[in-house]
Amino acid sequence: MTDQTYQLIAIGLYFLAMLGIGYYAYFQTTSLDDYMLAGRKLSPGVAALSAGASDMSGWLLMGLPGAIYVSGLVEAWIAIGLTIGAYLNWRFVAPRLRSYTEVSNNSITLPSFLESRFRDNTRLLRIASGLIILVFFTFYVSSGMVAGGVFFEASFGTHYLFGMLLVAGITLTYTLFGGFLGASLTDVAQGMLMFAALIIIPVTTVFVLGGIDETIAAINAADAAHNAANPDNPLRRTSLLFGGSILAILSAASWGLGYFGQPHIIVRFMALRSHADAKVGRRIGIGWMVLVASGAVLTGLIGAGYFHLSDRTLDNPETVFLVLSQILFHPFIAGLVLAAVLAAIMSTISSQLLVCSSALVEDLYKIFGRNLSAQTQVLLGRLGVLVVAVIAALLAIDPRSNILGLVAFAWAGFGAAFGPIILMSLFWRRLSAMGALAGMIAGAVVVGYWGNVPELKAQMYEIVPGFIACAVVAVVVSLVTSRRDDEEIQREFSAMEARH
């Protein structure tokens, strides 16, 4: 058999496993609560790995190694900022959000929680948050589909559109039928596959290069060759500071701010069995994240030295992980390693599709007072997944889309629109419905404007001004409009705090 045949067999087995998990989950799903939140029965291990896998999309195995390959460790500040943000999210948001969403009308989506938390009878808060989710997640899902198309094009020479549609189709199938439980269980398998691949690639490359000292020498040699050819643009890949201004470093590290507002991540907190599970989940999730992020950084760094010494050319830096796996391993093992890229891509797409579905059905359709049976609600949830997937696929038709760029824009949108609101809703009693609504809109608008003005974007990642705008507007408006005499809101807040 040819190398590609071995690799396709491995990837085919991976696809079958994902569909099998989705098939199993289909029979465990009988209500919208099951479909959107798995009945709040996730163990801390499943929640942690599911949150991690759904967070670390194709950018972890393609975008981040590619950035490190080109620019060096200065780009690792993204991973550092994300790890710190993830820890703080698990430490402070997870236990309180799990308790508060149960206390506050057993809310199963972020928009429904915000409406219940503030007793917003106007429904404006729920509608606005649902629309923000749909807009930014459509870009996010599209980035995953772009990554799928690039993956098959780089690995097997297939047409970009074929790869994109195949990844989208398989992910859509198991998400459509398996719901939240299916997405979470596939996330666990995908998270373990990503972990194994991101450990084995850099370790094997170091052995091939002859050891740690030889690997560092190869990286330095690659830098020397680059600097000789580009005297006006020197490079030192092994430095966290070289080539990066303080502003650039802060901009990269500010990715961590986004964690507090990512609906597809914090929904895992809501699905925990109890708030006490957050502590165990934090340890598992952050341990996993440190190891996979380190593996991605080392893959890009070591890959630069390897390709310099081997005199091989790498047309697209974002494929360094893919190409190394094909060079270093038996085709079948390489196929399993390649499947890890699909795991990263598909785990994120599935989680985001479900959040979009919940925004369409639970937060936009049902608010108009329609009394729907459980079966009809699940059916509408599946139709919502299908609609968002089709729109995202249309946006992903252009193969020139930058994966990390699409992810960065969507990540900033959620982080700025929801991050300050989630934090203040859990820790500040005086945050009002109008303050939350105004802050949310301000954050989304600033990100949308800043992220599309190249001169501003070059100075600072758009999440920073968006996050600040949201927080300032929310505080100012809340101080003017908050009501301290709302006993029901105060009672719920006290009930949540009593658990902690």
CATH code where residue 137 lies: 1.20.1730.10
Question: Residues near 466 by Cβ (< 8 Å), separated by ≥ 6?
Answer: 412, 413, 415, 416, 417, 443, 444, 446, 447, 450
Q: What is the pLDDT of residue 420?
A: 96
Q: 473 lies in a domain?
A: no
β strands within 321-479, DSSP E: none
Q: What's the rounded Cα separation, in Å, for the pair 152 and 166?
A: 9
Q: 466 lies in a domain?
A: no
Do 176 and 387 touch, CB atoms closer than 8 A?
Answer: no
Q: What's the rounded Cα separation, in Å, for the pair 354 and 181?
A: 11
Q: What's the rounded Cα separation, in Å, for the pair 353 and 381?
A: 10
Q: Is the pLDDT of residue 111 over 70?
A: yes
Q: What is the pLDDT of residue 35?
A: 64
Phi, psi of 30 (to 5 degrees): -125, -15
- Token duo for residue 139: 């870009």
pLDDT tier for residue 231 given thresholds of 50, 70 and 90: confident
User: Domain total for the chain?
Assistant: 1
Q: What's the rounded Cα separation, in Å, for the pair 174 and 25?
A: 9
Q: What is the pLDDT of residue 274?
A: 86
- The average pLDDT across 302-312 equals 87
Q: 411 lies in a domain?
A: no
Q: 435 lies in a domain?
A: no
Q: Per DSSP, what are the bridge partners of residue 358?
A: none
Q: Per DSSP, what are the bridge partners of residue 272?
A: 42
Q: How far is CA 372 from the centre of its chain?
A: 32
Do 308 and 80 touch, CB atoms closer than 8 A?
Answer: no
Q: Cβ–Cβ contacts within 10 Å for residue 332, how many?
A: 16
Q: Which among 36, 85, 91 is positioned nearest to 56, based on CA atoms? A: 85
Most distant pair of Cα atoms in the chain: their distance? 74
Is the pLDDT higher at 160 or at 248? 160
Q: Which among 399, 360, 326, 393 is positioned nearest to 171, based on CA atoms? A: 393
Q: 460-483, pLDDT tens digit by residue?
A: 889 999 999 999 999 999 999 876
Q: Per DSSP, what are the bridge partners of residue 62?
A: none
pLDDT tier for residue 282 given thresholds of 50, 70 and 90: very high
The pLDDT > 70 percentage for the chain reads: 90
- The average pLDDT across 17-21 equals 83
Q: What is the pLDDT of residue 151?
A: 79
- The average pLDDT across 276-283 equals 91
Q: Across all residues in the chain, what is the average pLDDT?
A: 83
| Residue showing tokens 């101080």 | 479
Question: Residues near 240 by Cβ (< 8 Å), separated by ≥ 6?
Answer: 73, 74, 76, 77, 249
Q: What is the pLDDT of residue 241?
A: 67
318: containing domain? 3-404
Q: Which of 219-233, 301-315, 320-334 has the lowest mean pLDDT?
A: 219-233
Q: What's the rounded Cα separation, in Å, for the pair 329 and 151?
A: 18
The Cα angle at residue 174 between residues 172 and 179, in degrees rounded to 5: 95
Q: 394 lies in a domain?
A: yes
Q: What is the pLDDT of residue 34?
A: 67
- Token duo for residue 83: 């790890």
Q: 125-165, pLDDT tens digit by residue?
A: 888 888 888 888 777 788 788 878 877 887 788 888 888 88
| Residue showing tokens 């698990």 | 90
**Is pTM, for the whole model, over 0.85?**
no
- The average pLDDT across 359-381 equals 65
Q: 500 lies in a domain?
A: no
Q: What's the rounded Cα separation, in Å, for the pair 280 and 90?
A: 10
Q: 455 lies in a domain?
A: no
Q: Is the pLDDT of residue 369 over 60?
A: no
Q: Per DSSP, what are the bridge partners of residue 42?
A: 272
Q: What's the rounded Cα separation, in Å, for the pair 149 and 170?
A: 13
Q: Is the pLDDT of residue 86 over 80?
A: yes
- Token duo for residue 403: 């994966």
Q: What is the pLDDT of residue 132?
A: 85
Q: What is the pLDDT of residue 399?
A: 65
If you compute the radius of gyration of the chain from its CA atoms, what whole number of angstroms results?
22
Report the phi/psi class of residue 428: left, alpha or beta, with left for phi > 0 and alpha for psi in -120 to 50.
Answer: beta
Q: What is the pLDDT of residue 208?
A: 92
Q: What is the pLDDT of residue 242?
A: 63
Do 337 and 201 touch, CB atoms closer than 8 A?
Answer: yes
| Residue showing tokens 């891509």 | 345
pLDDT tier for residue 60 given thresholds of 50, 70 and 90: confident
Q: Which of 89-93, 178-182, 455-459, 488-492 has the lowest mean pLDDT?
A: 178-182
Do 162 and 152 touch, CB atoms closer than 8 A?
Answer: yes
Q: 467 lies in a domain?
A: no
